[in-house]
Structure 1
Amino acid sequence: MALVAELGDAISPEINRRVRSLTDALEQGGVPGVFDFLPTYRSVLVYYDPLVATSDEVQDGIKLLLQSAQSTGAGARNVVHLPTLYGGDLGPDIAFVAQHNGIDEQEVIRMHSGTDYLVYMMGFSPGFAYLGGLDERLATPRLQSPRTEIPPGAVGIAETQTGVYPVASPGGWQLIGRTPVKLFDPARERPVLLNAGDYVRFVPIESRERYDDILRRVDAGEYVVDVETEAAES
């Protein structure tokens, strides 16, 4: 059996923080009968065993967890820096994004790299992060004809979203750059780089040579991703 815990009717960092607080508490085994859960932007799908707990008992347990989570407040946040080479053959659609929004390519880079993006949730493919916070002045429609394969690390924009393809896959996002960092690597102890609640900061790479150097270090297992810990906003 399953039920949905709706924590708000909008997509916002505050509501998503409550989602993460609830999932953290559920992960600690806070509600008898619950054996799995799936967080989204503003809700949590909770699976439970009806032979162990009733729907009302699970709902009461969730309410208690939420009350406890509200009293603890928000903790520090992790900002994961993703070096990114914008434009050129690695960002073939940056000119269209610029033209569509009436700005130049350098302004696209400045605006896109000038925001810290909240990871609302993970999904779609291994390591794919749903990011929030794209400047509305960069919003651009998807490609009319999706590409059959997009390489891992490709950074794109689709409507009001931006994101990074963690693995090779088809897709219709407008590609504006690429990061040499692996968001998903099954050979790592922790295959997925990002987690819900993290923030992503795209850091422009100044040259293809620098990109290739970072890529070599990533492939050799020598590159350490910069993760900055910041105090949470009140």
Structure 2
Amino acid sequence: MSPAAGAPRLLPAGDRAWLLEAPDDAGARRAPRFARELTEDPPTGVEDVLPAARTVLVTLRPGADASAVAREVLRRWASPPAADEAAFAASADVVTVPVRYDGEDLADVAALLGTSPEDVVAQHTGTTWECAFVGFAPGFGYLRSPDGRLNVPRRAQSRTAVPAGAVALADGYSAVYPRRSPGGWQVIGTTAAVLWDVDAEPPALLRPGTGVRFVREEDA
């Protein structure tokens, strides 16, 4: 479907799905919350909603009216967002993650940003991050800050094993490794928080649209 100026593109994905593509950076920041709104109040005919970095995949039920779903998705996008940044940060759906800032890469991150390790910690704990999408491993949430702070590249050399609970930064995101795995993100700390538990409901601590506040472990 051809978008109007400032509107997202809605592209067919297979025979019963639409891929909503955010029109700009502001739209990309809105996408996870929009996906959550669609999940909690799905339009008639919608089976599943899956956000990514700049897109939202809307899967239809068999026999659904694809055109009607497309119109409703675009109508909802054109409506004012349910919450602005301030309201989101103050909402109840914010997970607190205590962190011990003892990461091997903390000093390197500070050097990359031209600041001190203490300032990196202050910036990391001084905002409400938002889970934009989940990928890489079950429970691995890509967390985005509203002001794009602490944007550093991945390590030049990936590690063969990053421990579970490692708190890291890369490419404008922060994340917590839910399990031991290879990885190239810059590790700035560790947490005992459980990000993925198959016996929990839901099993993932973080879902797209969830807010995250990092706090120093001694302040928790």
Aligned-pair distance for 1:100? 1.7
Aligned equivalent of 1:175: 187
Which stretch has the larger CA shift, 69-78 or 190-199?
Answer: 69-78
Aligned to 2:82: 73
Matched letter for residue 40 of structure 1:
A
Structure 1 partner of 2:203: 191
- After superposition, the Cα gap between the structure-2 partners of 1:14 and 1:5, relative to the gap in structure 1 and judged at 3 Å, is closer
Residues 35 and 50, structure 2, Cα contact 8 Å, conserved in 1: no
Question: Cα offset for 1:125?
Answer: 1.2
- Which runs of 5 or more residues in structure 1 are unaligned? 211-225, 227-234
Seen in structure 2, the aligned counterparts of structure 1 residues 136 and 41 have a Cα distance that, compared at 3 Å, is closer
Cα pair 1:8 1:43 within 8 Å, conserved: no
**Residue equivalent to 1:107:** 119
Are the aligned partners of 1:23 and 1:39 in contact in 2 as well (CA < 8 Å)?
Answer: no
Contact 1:134 1:161 in 2 (8 A): no
Greater share of helix: 1
> Does the 8 Å contact 1:8/1:15 carry over to 2?
no
Structure 1 CA distance for aligned equivalents of residues 138 and 164 of structure 2: 11
For each residue in 1:77-108, what CA deviation from the matched residue of structure 2 results, as whole angstroms up to 9, or x when unmatched? 42211110002xxx111111112222221111
Alignment match, 2:25: 10
Report how many residues are paired. 198
**Secondary structure, in 3 states, of the residue corresponding to 1:138?**
coil
Asked if 1:145 corresponds to 2:157, the answer is yes
1:191, CA displacement in angstroms?
1.7
Whether 1:31 and 2:40 are equivalent positions in the alignment is: no
Q: Tell me if 1:98 matches 2:114.
A: no
1:13 CA drift (Å): 4.0
Q: 1:166 aligns with which of 150, 169, 178?
A: 178
User: Aligned residues: percent identity?
Assistant: 38
Counterpart residue identity of residue 20, structure 1: R
| 1:45 maps to which of 53, 57, 61 | 57
| Separation (CA, whole Å) in 1 of partners of 2:22 and 2:41 | 15
CA distance in 2, matches of 1:15, 1:115: 19
Relative to structure 2, which stretch is displaced further, 3-12 or 168-177? 3-12
Deviation, 1:136, is: 5.1
Deviation at 1:19, TM superposition (A): 2.9
1:13/1:100 CA distance change after superposition, 3 Å: closer
The alpha carbon displacement at 1:182 in A equals 0.7
In structure 1, distance between residues paired with 2:146 and 2:114? 17
Distance 1:197 1:93 in 2: 28
Q: Does the aligned pair in 1 maintain the 2:44–2:69 contact within 8 Å?
A: yes
Distance 1:153 1:3, change over 3 A: same
Compute the TM-score of the two structures, normalised by the length of structure 2: 0.77
Deviation at 1:150, TM superposition (A): 0.9
- Which is further off, 3-12 or 180-189? 3-12
Matched, 1:57 2:72: no
In 2, Cα distance between the equivalents of 1:13 and 1:134? Answer: 8
What SS does the aligned partner of 2:155 have?
Answer: coil
Q: Any idea what the Cα deviations from partners look like across 1:8-46, whole Å, max 9, x if unmatched?
A: 4324544443332223222xxx323x3333223443212
